[in-house]
Structure formats: C-alpha cells, structure tokens
Structure 1
C-alpha cells in the first residue's frame, strides 16, 4: 500500500502593483515561491487580493502594500482609504501577514490630502508585520520616523537596470528632425530621435549631462539646473545637459522658460522609453538631487551603464553616493563644481561593487525569507 504525502505548502507573495521593480523581483524569484502581481486601480486591490487568496488557500500567503500616493479627487482618496481598511481587517481576521515596502520614508511622492494620507500611512505601519526600506542605509531613518515600530524595520534592494522592463510611453505623433544647432526645445520625440539629437553633442561640448523623469517637486535637480548651468558658465566649463521631462509652464513657469531658452540645455518636453545603454556613448554624467528620504532607481541605472552621478547636496542621496562611491556631491553653493569636473572622467567609481551588493535576487530573498 502506497501512502501519498501531502504536497509541501508554497510561499505566496501578493504584490500591490506590477511596475518594472515588481516584475524584476518576480523574475529573479526562487521558483519554489509564487509571486503574484496585482495590476490596476488600488481601489479594487482588495477585491483582487481576496480572489487570489481563495485560489491559493492551500499555501502560506503574504500581502504586500507599496506606494500610498493619493488621488486629486477627495472622493477617490476616501474610497481608497475605505478599501484599505476593509482589506486590512479581513487579512487580520484570516491571519494573513501584511508587509509594506516603504519606497519613500518621510512622505509619499504625490500628496493631495495630507491628513488623510497621514492616517493611511499610520494604518499600514500599525498593521504591517514588517516594513521594508529600499536600502540598508535607509534603516536608521525609518527607525527615527517610525520610532514606536522600529522593530518592524527591515531592508530590501533593487538591482541591475534592464531597459526591456521599463514603461512604454505612447506619443500622439513624432517630429521629423534635422540637425540644427540653434534649436534646443523639442516635443513629442521618440527614442530614435533622442539618439539623433544626442549623438553630435560630445563634439561640441567637453561634458554632456543627462537628467530625465516625470516632474515632481521632490526632484530638486530640475529647479537646481538653473544654478548649475549659470555656475558652469561662470567657471567657463563647456557643458550642456539633456533634460527629458513632462514639466509644464503651470508647474514652474520660470524654470520651464529657462530650460526652453537656454542654449546649454537640450529640453525634450515629453516622457518616453529609451535604452540608457544606447545613450551612454553620448553623455558623461547624470545630474540628480531629491529632497526626500528615498533612493531613486536612477542610482541603479547609472551604476549599470557606468556613469557617475553628480548629486545636489540635499536629502539622503548624497550620503548614499559617497558611501557606495558611485559619483560626486555638489555643494549647495556650487563652490566645488570646477573640482568635480576636473576628476569625473579620470576617477574610478565602484559601480560593479555596488551592483554585486545590490542584486534583484537578494532583494526578493530578503522579502520572502524575512525574520
């Protein structure tokens, strides 16, 4: 007589969101575990989670909350909050662990209703079994901000840049371009046109910088471009910066007009998908700076394509760059600007060491096998 043993339970981790970070954690996951990414509106996240928990009822499950950004409409933000309350109560009732990956420690990127968002963060912090920050260097800051819950703090990490996993942006139309040294503002440009624009720049400038991203007030590097460019001109440093952003006049009219009209800036006024490995032959450094407590993924992108970060001295990012030796920190008064450009093309940066210490597999292992 043959006795059949029950199959061992698998670990099931249900992620909120299916952005490239979640996809790459899933891709590098041990096949013994089941990673489920929940797409779509966060308002219906709870309904989808309950359905998945029913399907996986024979396995041990964990539910992971991530970004807590709210909506511009009050009714949508309240609906989101109520859906989170209901889901958390159900998870507690059926004894499912809750984790929170805290991408932005001190505040969310998008905040419209401060008190409501604060209440939601507190709700997650109180009920999460573990709170993950996205680098071990952020551990100390999380323990200061979440003092009463410091024993819950753990850390994870991202990993190497894979351009194929990045978001695709659709353009309504694209412009036909001819090389023209007098034009520095473009709209509705795709990645091929971007390559076309950037390819001749290093013949005209000693240094070419690059900064890209969706505009937000925490990204100080956008508004500090004004001082960066003016100071470089004062020190007679022949440089230009390629800016790819969705910034509009209504966000900051003075900054928008400066970027559009300054001849040391190539301003691409739309978001797009591009392969930064392909672009890497055409620029020398990234310009960056965040005023919050977070580590943007551009740190990993820069290390992957082996380009130094020049970071404005604000927030936690300067300490990260110094610790891992992957770039330079610009003083707030720009007094060290000339010194930075005297060494960025000759100094050895520890990109490979950073990427060895920060692998996608390590990141997902820390989440699944936390203790």
Structure 2
C-alpha cells in the first residue's frame, strides 16, 4: 500500500487522508507543527522502518525574520536531499500558482520554488483552470502537472469550547438583524489578512456604510484573527469596521461551520487576486449561497465558470447591485460543482489512482 508523508496537518490533508484510507488507496501522513519539522518527520519514519513512497510539499510561505526564512530554506533542501538519498518520490501541491501568500523574502521563496520545480515528479494544482497558467508561470511540461481537488465541508470541528460563545453571538446578531429588517441581506467575510485582501475589506465597509445611509439593507459579519494586523497596518479601517452598525466584527479565528452558512448568510464575500482556489468556494457551495469575487481575478473567473457565485467590478458595485444579484441567484449549479469536485477525487489524484 502506497504511503506518503505530507506537509501540514490541516483540514485539507486530513480529509484527503480520510478518503485515501476509506478507498484503500494508501496512507497519508500529515505532519503536525511547523513546516520546518518536515525532514525530522521524514527521518522518524525511516528510523521506525515505516515504509513510505514519497513526500509531498505544499505551502512555501516564509517569515518576516530573515534568519527564520533561511532555516526554512535549509529544512526544505534537507528534505529534498533525504528524498533523493532514500529514493523517495517528491510531490508539490502548488496551492498558489503565481506566488506564495506570504513572501517576506521573495528571493528565498523563488529559490525554494525553483528547486521543487526541478525535482518534483508531480506538481499538483487545485483546478483544471490553473493548468495553463501553471504550465506558463512555472515553466514546466504539462505532463508533470496534475489536478487535485477539495470537496464539501466535513463535520470536522476545529473550534474549542471557549469559542462557542462567539459562534452563538454571530447567530444571535444575524437573526436579530433579520427580525428587525425583513429585507436584510447578510454577507460573511472569513479568513486571515494580507495587503492584497484589504481592497475587499474596504469595499465591504463601503457597502455597509452605504446601507446605513439608507440605500439598502446590507450587513456583513467579519470573522478572522485580523485585529493586530489592522491595528498595525490600517488602524483607521479597524476603527471604522468596529464602529459600523451594519457590521459585526469578530476579530478572532473561528471555524463557522459551513453547514450553518445557508441558515444565516445570504452570500459570501471573498475577494482574492492570486492564482489559487479558496476552500471557501466549497463551503459556500455546500451552503448553496453565492460567492462574490472581484472581476478580473482568477477567483472571479472560477465562480463564473462553475456558476457558484458572481464576479463583480468593485468600482461600480452598489448595495442595489448586490441585492439584484441575490434576487437572481440559483443554487442548482452548486450540486454539480460538489459532485465533480470531491475529496475522493483529490485523494485519487495524489495516490495516482
């Protein structure tokens, strides 16, 4: 049975592992903790004489500290050397085709990406729509590229009991708004924050303020560990988000179960400008609510192609535009999308089945 060591023990790795085991494809060993621990997990399996066939790299983010980024460079190189020495396959799931989410030292990140482009037997992208951009930007032969997919939300719960009160507070706020305003449409923004996502957050604030001024019944719930980042990089925006009556600002990391999104939210707000597929697309499709992305971006093309949301031009978008699109929304394409994009398909791709 094929066994693969994979970087990062997150929900994606766990669900691919679960499906691989269920189908008898093989075993996937997600590595917990820092990605710099990957070579040590590799050696541990070797010393335990646990047979495995390959190692799979994923995210190649680095750190603000140059020294820490150098250590990450060394541990990635060490893992590659170990794989070559012990004759293990090297795979790379290229979640972000054009660039990593966090690149504090682009030269070091580019070097690590170049090494993986050279040594990886298979490079995975997260949708067919990314095959052509990957072939061009990574400068690799298309026969080395594969497609690995995510799937619908699982029952896995990553919230600890201390956060249940925040989840309940969100439920209460949304339900109260919908009782007070029969025309209320509530959107969810959820995630972490970098400079590239600020434009989407600013547009959400603009729409909420427009609604407060009397031109619409639009509300937003903003969820994610973004307080510190905003306080440092955009303090005025933080104050405006916290003070807007049409926004519930929850500045902590929460896994709001996608199974509840359809009961609470009318749309999901997820502007991204890089060449990557967001797991949020699968959660919004699970909830049968549209995903709003920015026109001219890959995710805008993605949601329009699969008909699971809308690509909107921020400079022309108003509350009325959002409400009109919601009035025209049909969730039927979500069913087909989730039938063709599954954790099972992802596991089969990873194990070459």
Tell me the TM-score normalised to structure 1 length.
0.86
**1:21-32 superposed matches below 5 A:** 21-29=12-20, 30-32=23-25
In the alignment, the residues of structure 1 paired with residue 225 and residue 161 of structure 2 have an alpha-carbon distance, to the nearest angstrom, of: 13
Task: Determine if the alignment matches structure 1 residue 198 to structure 2 residue 137.
Answer: no
Partners of 1:368 and 1:116 in 2: how far apart? 30
2:203 matched to which residue of 1?
A: 224
Cα distance in 2 for residues equivalent to 1:11 and 1:62: 9
Residue 110 of structure 1 and its aligned partner are, at CA, apart by 1.5
1:365 correspondence with 2:332: no
Say if 1:280 and 1:32 are closer, same or farther in 2 by CA, change over 3 A.
closer
C-alpha separation between the residues in 2 aligned to 1:53 and 1:38? 15
**Which deviates further from its counterpart, 99-108 or 308-317?**
308-317
2:98 to 93, 102, 106: 106
Shift of 1:247: 2.2
Query: 1:345-360, aligned counterparts within 5 Å?
Result: 345-349=327-331, 350-360=333-343
Kept after mapping to 2: 8 A contact 1:228/1:334: no
Equivalent residue number for residue 311 of structure 2: 329
Matches within 5 A, 1:1-371: 10-29=1-20, 30-55=23-48, 59=51, 61-162=53-154, 164-168=155-159, 190-205=166-181, 206=183, 207-219=185-197, 220-230=199-209, 236-248=215-227, 249-335=231-317, 338-349=320-331, 350-369=333-352
Structure with the greater alpha carbon radius of gyration? 1
Instruction: Tell me the alpha carbon deviations over residues 178-226 of structure 1, each in whole angstroms, 9 at most, x when there is no partner.
Output: xxxxxxxxxx952122222222121234211111112222324223223
Q: Are residues 266 and 32 of structure 1, via their aligned partners in 2, closer, same or farther at CA, if it must alter by over 3 Å?
A: closer
Contact 1:170–1:272 (CA<8 Å) still a contact in 2?
Answer: no
Classify the secondary structure of the residue corresponding to 1:202. helix
Partner-residue secondary structure (3-state), 1:63: strand
Change (3 A) 1:295 1:232: farther
SS in 2 for 1:199: helix
| Cα deviation digits, residues 73-111 of structure 1 (max 9, x gap) | 222211121121122122123321100001111111122
Question: SS of the residue aligned with 2:150?
Answer: coil
Q: Relative to 1, partners in 2 of residues 1:32 and 1:295: Cα closer, same or farther, differing over 3 Å? A: closer
- Could you tell me which runs of 5 or more consecutive residues in structure 2 were left unpaired when the two chains were aligned: none
How many matched pairs?
Answer: 344
Are the counterparts in 1 of residues 260 and 287 from structure 2 also a CA contact under 8 Å?
no
**298-307 or 226-235: bigger deviation:** 226-235
Q: Give the alignment's TM-score, normalised by structure 2.
A: 0.90
CA contact (8 A) 1:169 1:271 kept: no
Distance 2:315 2:195 in 1: 20
Taking structure 1 as reference, are residues 359 and 213 closer, same or farther at Cα in structure 2, changes over 3 Å only? same
Contact 1:20 1:166 in 2 (8 A): no
Query: Where does the alignment leave 5 or more consecutive residues of structure 1 unmatched?
Result: 1-9, 175-187
* Counterparts of 1:11 and 1:109, CA distance in 2: 31
- Structure 1 residue 231: deviation in Å? 5.2
* Aligned-residue CA RMSD (Å): 2.3
- CA shift for structure 1 position 42: 1.8
Give, in whole Å, the separation in 1 of the partners of 2:96 and 2:192.
16
